[in-house]
Structure 1
């Protein structure tokens, strides 16, 4: 360790430089302390740092001084840069124009960063925060070494601070937790590798997503964040919180993790993410600049200062401390940062000058982390939040619940891409160097990682972007798929072919396989030449693969070929159709539609659009009361019924031999709109389950939350939209239950769902609309089709029926299997004689409660692994218990030489995590004590716990 104190520019600055070195990492932070700094305090902090064992960089604070006897107004200069929305990612970065765009057509992120860095150098008091690492990564790589040194210095000084730090600011309703963790890790690792500890974000910042998920808060807490700020919440909830001064709270984001593991301080920003009215000084704004020449006829300093004081006191009335935060920026602002900083400099100068005359307002440049630090020092007791912030409405008839389903094809493609990425990552680790010998060379998974990172953006997978931007997201994902291919996989429209099936799950799965073929007679054998039960019907051949650990065991016609083979074993018949539990309760499948509001009724002009769901009636229209049954297939492998409800709506009800779940394969589209009405198509499952207005939805695919019709746990709801106001996002499953039965629906993508009637569960499948909903996208959601006038979407729902106390043992693994689906690959003919026909990456299957969430190459000799307990506390009598995994007995191709635990975001060591602690007015129900690791090589997982480890490995 080395410390240095030196002068700069005649001693006007004091530089404190710290370099921390250890056997496996280094840290470097530089702090510039200006003449106004209290030197006694500076050296006191230095001594405090020297006296600590771990040398935390936080010991030296870089936050500006505040005044404890005044109202401190923290000005936070920022820009909100969507990673695609009205323009593509590339267009937003370069500032490319599109004649169809409006105010933001010139927006260019490269100019924003250029201008901000220039202005920060002109005054050491100035601050700026930046969020979207996808943009910063691109800009950073284009800079000269001298510019990079300047930026690194600004980061070390705390004047340029990274907030959030993920590849994007992800959506919270339509994203799966595994993809969220991946995109956060991607951004955080770049910042960590580039700037070290000083570049590590301390605050999560989701100022634009349209509702907020509890699982996101849990993820942020486990990543080591101290706090979380957002801008949007329901207008009724906000009004209540303003009255009771509950705009800031402690969010307890898990019912299973022992507090404070998933506790996160959360604040609602007062103006969304915009400045107070009258104080926007960007080139895109119309507010008057500060004219401070007293000889001018339109001198306005006194007027603006008084207006600012009034705004500050109004805002302070809704918050508990003598600190308030003001977001000084908005969408793609600061292309000309001089406009902002010159006016904010004057504002700070003239407002603070009034302190000499008795004013009690102190204005300063600040950051969210500095503001959060002041709130923590206040040592107050904060209200507790345990539910989530869905659904979000900004007015009585304006519920942002349509985007839960918008662009269903893109939502499915993103989900399948996530599965492909996990498979790609796993094979790069398990296969060693040869596994990276694909068509694009080393690091073939990187392109897919970045494409998936962008796809998590709150105007990407959400479906709220313009059509040409949606095409761009899909193109990026397609490029990622190509980069992850080791060999070209051909479709099996040939007489003789071999099939390889790869199972990315760490447990055995039984997976039905359906392949398009052009013949009627096929024989299927496994790798050992044994016959596999199969059935040819129409243009598909159906068989069942029992798939083991990584390279599942699979086959078709001839023994298989691949470096990693699995073969399908002939299934053992152990359950008949008549005995399946799904038939034990009355279930009526119905396809319906809501006609979309055109904004022409007397209550409101709000229309349905990409964001907003607003039907023009509370009762859906039956598409067809009687479905035409076209095909009934009964074979040894599958029983299915094809139902045609209309020329544009059909479904196949399918039950595979030996499976307890019923599959509904739906096809919707092109949705007709010739009658002048947009339509939102749902499937509804009506049962005799006595659900009593309660239903349950998952949060980003993980923990489940209880929902209740026309009810919010946090405030007394005044329901104004009986349908849209009861819709919630589901990412993998939803269910209804009573004392005897639980009906669970597992989805293949994120969708919107509700229970509007006792015993009923409905899921929105597709939307086609004729009007924009006035939330900025500027075009109706009416996706074109490749061969028709509208998009045809297809998907699958899996239905299970179980007693409530055992239902989780069924739907948890089923949902994971839907997210991480087996990967099929094909080739002509027979394999060579030396081909290895079976391969397993694990020595044995993982315990049923354990999910292998992440396995990816980190560096040359290290791999990142995340092991997850996939059950909630008290969810399963069998599996809601601690479970232990031995790392040295995990892999078949890798020898684990060492293991170090990291934060969930993999950007700091677990032992170094030191989060702020908060007081809350309520206590939670006590949870069982967490089980500990029995040895250094054994990892114990408690319910809902994720352990992130960096493994030092050697290929066997």
Structure 2
């Protein structure tokens, strides 16, 4: 037998289910009774980009910025683990480990598998990156965690399944993130950053460790044990042994002058006792490592071996026992303590490390990359769906990896150096190009299959700059096809806006129907943003209706005058009515909403829901906070992480003169164009049939000639009696109740009345009273608050001239393509409804905003008749969202269905709902269904989480997530409010 074959057989003997494997809780080093057991956890925290790019960090390049090389860390650790079976090490970031793994020879891979099976090397958390919790959308969190966890289980089997979530560096912790961790099967969750006041209170009350009720909708199965680490995530002061550390090694030769064992033991023992005094069991955890440490693992382990030896030699008198351990072994020992734990419900937002240092600035930092990440997620979901539905040469792999990296807590947060932000954007761009090729190929293939018309996918123009009216094909061609794909599993009607240069067009839809369309001038603001990058003078606008999880094509033609006279009855695009000067108030309306604008100032004056007969006095304008650079109270200033305004009252950007530029009214959309300053403009739009208004703002370059950093907000002031209460979403799912100047767990100190009351907004912020609910939906992560009765403010852009001294070493002073300050365009989708109807509107709008229809333009179809086709046999109910459809193997797909309403959201749509999977998809039939954990790395029925006793309950928690078999032949799946159910489905293609 060849060596390679023997070696492969040996590796397989250590795979899933092997009797040789003793990983997990059974692999833990033993603790001792009647001792304070100190769990020493050797670890490294490896940012997937921050001061250096992900490639630079892996290879150890560009060390003039920061000395860090992940490949050397892993090399060093594996060598050190081989020297002593008692040693332990944990690793977290799969993005780095996967790279390293594929560079190793068979011998090293075999050795690593042995270490994993023995519990000597343990994976913790296991996501592709350690994602942020404030600026990330739940869809992207699930994707990136699943990507990393599937790699680990596919590589190491059962021993590659982490048991503990580990977010030691993210800057605040969300309730939805903890809920997702519970649904992924984790037994515990540890984090390092905890608000200064919260931490002080928890230390004094011994509540650094509790059980978190993460989701009231899911109940006990979503409960999760958590621990806030005592010392952040670094080692105890004086006990760091890596390159760059200046602490004394343990010098244990008594014949030498520098012998220091007694002093080292005494200092460590005191620290351990001090820490133990704040905790409730005979176990404490100490993180022995920090950022990019263990490049010299030998130095670490040599000193830790000695520390363990000499401290334990005196344990009879000190009561302190040290052991190599892991977070999961620590959790196991806490669980075995048979203690009754207190509980928590709310989140840990915003994070502040001192009275004037609130990390609520990063909710908004680098708004362009935040918008690009959210838009890229939309494209990725479309791409993954079509990859499952049609056979393609292109792949979603590059964008999947780029998106997973972009969720890192120094990526989408905007807290990285500029060249690193550029690297993240480049990766996303390259992934998008690959996915766009796949989208064109898949839909072209389906059109050819259905019509017999051979469509060339390479002629597609994906109009990547359509938001600033740039699309070369629609600008230069008099005839083209618009292809619109809807990733939502129900029919959607959505506006399409295309830059064009002709005065009139016909838009033909399927079955020979002429679609109502509108022509209007490109705004002056758009022309100033795009500069010389596009030449379109007009926009063509029409409403596209797309079937569930399907596509519709529209033929757009600019007819000659002779053709116009011959076609006669065919409806052409009608020029919108443009009003440059107005007398009296301006009103724009559709069938559902009406907005009035003051005829003198041009500002919003009121908003009316015509169907519910609700009218609200409402103004909206823009303001700016001056960024603090420090003062006599605190030297802390605003920066990429921290928001600290100089004053609590912002300066208005409305100077008292009219901001009104134009009013445009047409058959498809009515809009008001406003110019607040030369660098800040807005268009307020109401599309036909839409239940919400769009406020599209363009901000930048923010002027800095006065030497002042500026943080720009939009603010709505209404007559809703909301008091001090408002609501923000948690990662796009659960709604969190916020009350000004209050915290659930500790006495609030009002040291920063603005920044301390800012919260992350991933999808919406809400205020309400008994009569009305006002909702603002965002198209990216932002930060905001309701700082007074009836008011909502959202920060949209920041330009700051000073670093905030949190490590990035650069001011948040982004420049654009032309060398001046960054310009950003985004949209707020605003609705007003009764509280009973509002939840339905905002849940459906939320789905449509982050899963927008995707369109591109093609010249390939010529005069071929437009077509419309759906890939599913029937639409899903409005409360069910098809969250994931992803190809794992040619005949194995990953499918997630989500109930997107909470209990009490809506009388009808908050009820359980059942969906049949058997004949749901047209391109294939489903022959088998296996339910998995949320992260798709475990069969759900095999997930066995630890049980915890909690105060006020006679039962232990968490109760198990019980799979309800989706049995043949119908494979019916029942979803309760906030359920996400995950399946491997075996398919046979038609």
The equivalent position to 1:917 in structure 2, one of 947, 963, 974, is: 947
Matched, 1:155 2:116: yes
TM-score, with structure 2 as normaliser: 0.87
The equivalent position to 1:28 in structure 2, one of 18, 25, 34, is: 18
Matched, 1:474 2:425: yes
**2:102, 2:11 → 1: CA distance?**
26
- Please report how far the alpha carbon of residue 20 of structure 1 lies from its aligned counterpart in structure 2 after TM superposition: 10
**1:860, 1:513 → 2: CA distance?**
34
Instruction: Tell me the residue number matched to 1:77.
Output: 42
**2:222, 2:783 → 1: CA distance?**
26
Instruction: Tell me the residue number matched to 1:850.
Output: 880
The equivalent position to 2:870 in structure 1, one of 834, 840, 844, is: 840
Matched, 1:279 2:278: no
**1:279, 1:717 → 2: CA distance?**
34
| Contact in 2 for aligned 1:448/1:477 (Cα 8 Å) | yes
Matched, 1:353 2:313: yes
- Please report how far the alpha carbon of residue 580 of structure 1 lies from its aligned counterpart in structure 2 after TM superposition: 4.1
Instruction: Tell me the residue number matched to 1:184.
Output: 145
Secondary structure of 2:625's counterpart equals strand
Instruction: Tell me the residue number matched to 2:578.
Output: none
TM-score, with structure 1 as normaliser: 0.90
- Please report how far the alpha carbon of residue 485 of structure 1 lies from its aligned counterpart in structure 2 after TM superposition: 2.1
Matched, 1:950 2:906: no
Secondary structure of 1:664's counterpart equals strand
**1:569, 1:160 → 2: CA distance?**
68
| Contact in 2 for aligned 1:931/1:942 (Cα 8 Å) | no
**1:373, 1:528 → 2: CA distance?**
64
- Please report how far the alpha carbon of residue 569 of structure 1 lies from its aligned counterpart in structure 2 after TM superposition: 14
**1:137, 1:931 → 2: CA distance?**
31
**1:277, 1:226 → 2: CA distance?**
29
Instruction: Tell me the residue number matched to 1:877.
Output: 907
Per mean C-alpha deviation after superposition, the further-off stretch among 487-496 and 384-393 is 487-496
Matched, 1:664 2:625: no
Matched, 1:400 2:359: yes
Matched, 1:540 2:539: yes
- The RMSD of aligned alpha carbons is 2.3
Secondary structure of 1:528's counterpart equals helix
The 5 Å alignment of 1:65-464 reads 65-97=30-62, 99=64, 101=65, 105-259=66-220, 261-355=221-315, 358-431=317-390, 433=391, 436-438=392-394, 444-464=395-415
CA deviation profile, 1:633-684 (whole Å, cap 9, x unmatched): 0011110011000011110010011112010000000001111110000000
Instruction: Tell me the residue number matched to 1:898.
Output: 928
**2:950, 2:46 → 1: CA distance?**
34
**1:96, 1:894 → 2: CA distance?**
48
The equivalent position to 1:525 in structure 2, one of 504, 508, 520, is: 508
| Contact in 2 for aligned 1:728/1:754 (Cα 8 Å) | yes
- Please report how far the alpha carbon of residue 110 of structure 1 lies from its aligned counterpart in structure 2 after TM superposition: 0.3
- Please report how far the alpha carbon of residue 512 of structure 1 lies from its aligned counterpart in structure 2 after TM superposition: 1.1
Secondary structure of 1:358's counterpart equals helix
**2:962, 2:256 → 1: CA distance?**
69
The answer for unaligned runs of 5 or more in structure 2 is 1-9, 438-456, 462-470, 522-537, 559-570, 575-588, 596-607
Secondary structure of 2:353's counterpart equals strand
**2:223, 2:682 → 1: CA distance?**
43
**1:577, 1:695 → 2: CA distance?**
24
Q: How many residues are paired up? A: 887
- Please report how far the alpha carbon of residue 922 of structure 1 lies from its aligned counterpart in structure 2 after TM superposition: 3.3
Instruction: Tell me the residue number matched to 2:556.
Output: 557
**2:304, 2:26 → 1: CA distance?**
23
- Please report how far the alpha carbon of residue 935 of structure 1 lies from its aligned counterpart in structure 2 after TM superposition: 5.2
**1:403, 1:627 → 2: CA distance?**
33
**2:36, 2:334 → 1: CA distance?**
13
- Please report how far the alpha carbon of residue 783 of structure 1 lies from its aligned counterpart in structure 2 after TM superposition: 0.4
- Please report how far the alpha carbon of residue 924 of structure 1 lies from its aligned counterpart in structure 2 after TM superposition: 11
**1:933, 1:808 → 2: CA distance?**
30
- Please report how far the alpha carbon of residue 837 of structure 1 lies from its aligned counterpart in structure 2 after TM superposition: 2.0
The answer for unaligned runs of 5 or more in structure 1 is 1-15, 33-56, 439-443, 560-567
Instruction: Tell me the residue number matched to 1:37.
Output: none
1:196–1:735 distance in 2 versus 1, CA, 3 Å? same
Instruction: Tell me the residue number matched to 2:3.
Output: none
The 5 Å alignment of 1:697-736 reads 697-736=728-767
**1:508, 1:710 → 2: CA distance?**
43
- Please report how far the alpha carbon of residue 889 of structure 1 lies from its aligned counterpart in structure 2 after TM superposition: 2.7
Secondary structure of 1:61's counterpart equals helix
**2:949, 2:837 → 1: CA distance?**
37
Secondary structure of 1:824's counterpart equals strand
| Contact in 1 for aligned 2:553/2:866 (Cα 8 Å) | no
| Contact in 1 for aligned 2:481/2:553 (Cα 8 Å) | no
Secondary structure of 1:744's counterpart equals strand
